[in-house]
């Protein structure tokens, strides 16, 4: 059974870069049937899709975050990562990594989710 686990700092200072890693177990990020995504959830914005990375390294980002987001993949470690730069209090949220069956822009629905990690942006 595929499992995903997020890791990274729970507190980030304003203007700095948020960095999270998702470790995949029980499956491989090299599986071309899926892409590997980040989603965040806050009381203010609800569930918000950040973007995804494919096993090949190709990426697609939400336009609202595109200028600040980088998602990358490390197939040797079976991990993928999120970097969000120039964070503000508005980036405080629970961040989830998830596996998504899909093709190009099509999203068939995240079928495996990590447990989520809370990130607070504060000085």
Partner 1 sequence: DVVMTQSPLSLPVTLGQPASISCRSSQSLVFSDGNTYLSWFQQRPGQSPRRLIYKVSNRDSGVPDRFSGSGSGTDFTLKISRVEAEDVGVYYCMQGTHWPSSFGGGTKVEVK
| Interacting residues with partner 1 between 51 and 110 (CB under 8 A) | 51, 60, 62-64, 96, 102, 105-110
Stretch that binds partner 1, among 14-22, 47-55, 76-84, 85-93 (CB under 8 A): 47-55
* Closer residue to partner 1 (CB): 5 or 16: 5
Is residue 36 near partner 1 by the rule CB under 8 A?
Answer: no
- Rounded least distance, CB 109 to partner 1, Å: 3
Q: In this structure, which long-range contacts are made by residues 105-113, counting pairs with CB atoms below 8 Å and at least 24 apart in sequence?
A: 105/60, 107/49, 110/37, 110/39, 112/2, 112/3, 112/4, 113/4
């Amino acid at each position: 059974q595929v499992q995903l686990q997020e890791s990274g700092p729970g507190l980030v200072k304003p203007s700095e870069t948020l960095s999270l890693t998702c470790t995949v177990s029980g499956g491989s990020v090299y599986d071309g049937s899926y892409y590997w995504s980040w989603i965040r959830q806050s009381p203010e914005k609800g569930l918000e899709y950040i973007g995804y990375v494919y096993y090949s390294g190709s990426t697609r980002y939400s336009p609202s975050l595109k200028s600040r987001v980088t998602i990358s993949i490390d197939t040797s470690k079976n991990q993928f990562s999120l970097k969000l730069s120039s964070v503000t209090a508005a980036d405080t949220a629970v961040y989830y990594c998830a596996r998504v069956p899909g093709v190009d822009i099509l999203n068939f629905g995240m079928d495996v989710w990590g447990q989520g990690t809370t990130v607070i942006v504060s000085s």
